[in-house]
Amino acid sequence: MPDLLTSLGIGVVAAIAGFIIFYKFIRFSAAKSGFLSAALVLGVYITLAIIFWPGGDVFAIHLAIFAVVPYMMGMISHYREQALDSEQRKKWFHWIPALFFAFFFVVVVVNMTLVSLSTKGMSPQMLQWLLPKQNGGQYTSQFPGVISHDYQEKEALYNEYLKNLERQKQRGWKIKQGWLVSPEQNKPAIFQIEARDKNGHIISGLNISLKFLRPSNFHHDKTFTMQEVLDGIYQQSIVFEWPGNWDVVIMMTKDGEVHEIRGDSFVKDQAAK
């Protein structure tokens, strides 16, 4: 789906155009025109959102705006219809509906700003203006979050995950993982895994996917396929451009069996010496 501002703009224009068509040309009442234009825009958007899910916060903002715009147009037009004499018709825009409109407008703008900042962050110019200068580092103002599984939204996947976790416990693999040297920003470090079964025998031929997930920005995530350097020993050389905390997800597969390990790691800041 298009970005937040584009999709909101298209929906608002469509709602206004629909209201005008129903009210001015088809000659429906203000209330009916507002209802039909809102139903039309919301119906189209909900259908698209089901196919291309944008996230709960973005979905809620669209619903609110696409419902409020036709409602406010219907309210104002209905008040105009109720004017009894010519003097009132000249002053049909009363302060009460205007106050309602202003309130919803402020709420919508604040929510749009928060969603936009959380997903895209502030521009470099805004960062320089709002935040103090930083020596040897960079700011990030976005928090897209880390989602290494989709089972929070899909019950079937969550149940399958629990089954895999139980099979993993019964399998009893003994995995040792860690750094040969503590990782530091912009310096290569080797991450090693030693795999043995529950009887202590070496496990060779594993396919190992190694992921380092950046909690503050998913664009910095790293994914590797580890190489077996000795029987049962797998290594990967990694360079981190960003210091701080990283979430670690290790997926090991062999003969249809899946073994998963999750943890975290810390990368030293080269400027902190």
Q: Do 163 and 264 share a domain, yes or no?
A: yes
Residues 167 and 259 in one domain: yes
- In this structure, the answer to whether residues 181 and 111 fall within a common structural domain is no
Same domain, 123 and 186: no
Contact of 104 with 110, CB cutoff 8 Å: no
Whether residue 146 is contained in a domain is answered as: no
* Domain identity same for 11 and 124: yes
User: Which whole-number Å values give the CA distances from 219 to 123, 143, 269, in the listed order?
Assistant: 16, 11, 19
Kindly state whether residues 161 and 239 are assigned to the same domain.
yes
The reply to whether 142 falls in a domain is no
pLDDT in tens, 192-244: 999 999 999 999 999 999 999 988 778 889 999 999 999 999 999 999 999 99
- Which of 74-78, 124-128, 132-136, 187-191 has the weakest average pLDDT? 132-136
Establish if 225 belongs to a structural domain. Answer: yes
The domain total for the chain is: 2
CATH of the domain at 205: 2.60.40.1930
Query: Does the residue 121 lie in any domain?
Result: yes
Least confident of 3-7, 75-79, 147-151, 154-158: 147-151
Query: Exposed, middle or buried by CB within 10 Å (0-12, 13-18, 19+), for 94?
Result: middle
Whole-model pTM over 0.85:
no
Determine, yes or no, domain membership for 133: no
In a domain, 18, yes or no: yes
Residues 14-34 as b/e (b if ≥16 CB within 10 A, e otherwise) read bbeebbeebbeeeebebeebb
* pLDDT value at 40 more than 90: yes
Residue 137 lies in a domain: no
CA pseudo-torsion sign 16, 18, 23, 25: positive
124 and 182 belong to one structural domain: no
β-partners of residue 212 are 222, 248
Same domain membership, residue 108 and residue 51: yes
pLDDT of residue 84: 47
Do residues 162 and 265 both lie within one domain?
A: yes
From 71, 93, 128, give the residue that closes a domain. Answer: 128
Do 187 and 74 sit in the same domain of this protein?
no
Same domain, 88 and 176: no
Domain membership flag for residue 149: no
* Maximum average pLDDT range among 55-59, 96-100, 216-220, 239-243: 239-243
Mean pLDDT, the chain, integer = 82
For Cα atoms 80, 86, 90, give the angle at the middle one, nearest 5 degrees.
Answer: 60
Q: Which amino acid is located at 26 in the chain?
A: I
Same-domain pairing of 204 and 96: no
Range of the domain at 260: 155-272
